[in-house]
């Protein structure tokens, strides 16, 4: 009887430790996933801005920018030697928008909307353009909130700044 009691006590302690280890592992895994999503979003926005020029942020919070026409990995120029913004010289540039909707970061340009990166079901991004400093700031949360289980809450706050020349 004593041996069985000791065995049951040890089994209970080992199972409790294993459960605690599993919870900690899930929490770390969800944080790692959220951090990876932040890096993906940052890289997608940075990639878009490499061949873009920020126009501003509209009242709805969407980032507005022009897209540079490129040929063979080089920028295309107008006959006057200035940057040729899509749709192309002599037309005025079309404005692309970047926004968050239904857990995704989206790009809309010339009637086509495409996915850029996941932000999670509860994710949000606030764009802020500072023309004097030529800085595009992204602030927000990525991931998913779980009000019933804190170990499954994968929200990751972030504040990223992209310094742009934003010149023609």
DSSP string, 71-104: ETTEE-B-TTSSB-BTT-TTSPPPPEEEEEETTE
Tens place of pLDDT per residue across the chain (168 aa):
999 999 999 999 999 889 888 877 776 666 677 788 888 999 999 989 988 899 999 999 999 999 998 888 788 888 888 888 888 888 889 999 999 999 999 999 999 999 999 998 888 999 999 988 889 999 999 888 777 776 667 788 899 999 987 554
What is the value of pTM for the model shown?
0.77
């Amino acid at each position: 009887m004593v041996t069985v009691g000791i065995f049951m006590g040890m089994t209970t302690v080992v199972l409790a430790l294993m459960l605690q280890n599993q919870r900690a592992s899930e929490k770390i895994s969800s944080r790692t996933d959220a951090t990876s999503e932040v890096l993906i979003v940052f890289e997608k926005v940075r990639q878009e801005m490499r061949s873009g020029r920020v126009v501003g942020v509209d009242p709805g919070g969407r980032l507005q920018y022009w897209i540079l026409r490129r040929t063979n990995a080089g920028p295309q120029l107008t006959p006057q030697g200035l940057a040729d913004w899509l749709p192309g010289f002599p037309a005025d540039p079309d404005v692309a928008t970047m926004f968050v909707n239904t857990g995704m970061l989206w790009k809309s340009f010339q009637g086509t909307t495409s996915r850029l990166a996941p932000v999670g079901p509860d994710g949000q991004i606030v764009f802020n353009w500072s023309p004097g400093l030529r800085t595009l700031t992204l602030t927000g949360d990525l991931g998913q909130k779980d009000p019933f289980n804190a170990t499954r809450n994968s929200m990751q706050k972030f504040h990223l700044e992209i310094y742009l020349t934003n010149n023609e």
